[in-house]
């Protein structure tokens, strides 16, 4: 999100604070998700034993499995609120209306992300009941990181930069 962080510096001070706070929440979420399962060490290259939860006692495995739904719910809630704020900020620009093509495309990307998050959450809940919980956490982390990085690159950064180009 480094490029995106540069781009948000070009917002008005009030808008900047809202986006900066939400990005910190999203970054904290990703760190918490990455570190949630003791068996999932994302800084290592996966191998056959990478997702082995056997060393964990049953209670630890149950804890990891039990926390998964709250992670799934939390990211959906964070994303929804962030997208609402982002769209409000976009619409506050004098040249942006709901009919503005870029706004419509950006909003549709938000809808698509929310659908992807819901689908990913459903998939992770099923996998969490049948497979390695560490593998589920790692997969969820990688997918969410990829979704948000792609969105930043394709939509947020260009839009934010464009808000300063129009006077």
Query: Which structural domains are found in the chain, ordered by start?
Result: 2-37+63-160 (1.20.120)
Helix then strand then coil, in percent of the chain rounded to 5, is 75, 0, 25
Q: Is the dihedral of CA 88, 93, 97, 100 positive or negative?
A: negative
Tell me if 48 sits within 8 A of 86, measured CB to CB.
no
Q: What is the pLDDT of residue 140?
A: 86
Q: What is the pLDDT of residue 156?
A: 56
Q: Is the dihedral of CA 58, 75, 115, 4 positive or negative?
A: negative
Q: What is the pLDDT of residue 2?
A: 43
Tell me if 163 sits within 8 A of 11, measured CB to CB.
yes
Following DSSP, what letter does each residue of 63-85 receive, concatenated? HHHHHHHHHHHHHHHHHHHHHHH
Tracing tokens 């209670």 back to the chain, one arrives at 59
The number of beta carbons lying within 10 Å of the beta carbon of residue 124 is 21
Q: Which residue ranges of the chain lie beneath pLDDT 70?
A: 1-10, 38-61, 131, 155-167
The pTM of the full predicted model, rounded to 2 decimals, is: 0.74
């Amino acid at each position: 999100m480094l490029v995106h962080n540069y781009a948000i510096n070009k917002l008005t001070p009030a808008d900047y604070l809202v986006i900066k706070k939400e990005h910190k929440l999203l970054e904290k979420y990703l760190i918490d998700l990455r570190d949630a399962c003791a068996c999932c060490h994302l800084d290592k290259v996966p191998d056959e034993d990478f997702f082995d939860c056997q060393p964990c006692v049953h209670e630890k495995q149950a804890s990891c499995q039990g926390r998964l739904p709250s992670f799934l719910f939390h990211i959906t809630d964070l994303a929804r609120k962030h997208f609402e704020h982002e769209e409000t900020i976009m619409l506050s620009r004098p040249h942006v209306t709901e009919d503005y093509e870029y706004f419509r495309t950006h909003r549709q990307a938000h809808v698509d992300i929310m659908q992807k998050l819901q689908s990913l959450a459903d998939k992770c809940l099923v996998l969490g009941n049948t497979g390695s919980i560490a593998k589920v956490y790692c997969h969820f982390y990688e997918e969410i990181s990829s979704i948000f990085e792609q969105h930043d690159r394709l939509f947020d950064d260009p839009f934010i930069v464009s808000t300063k180009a129009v006077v």
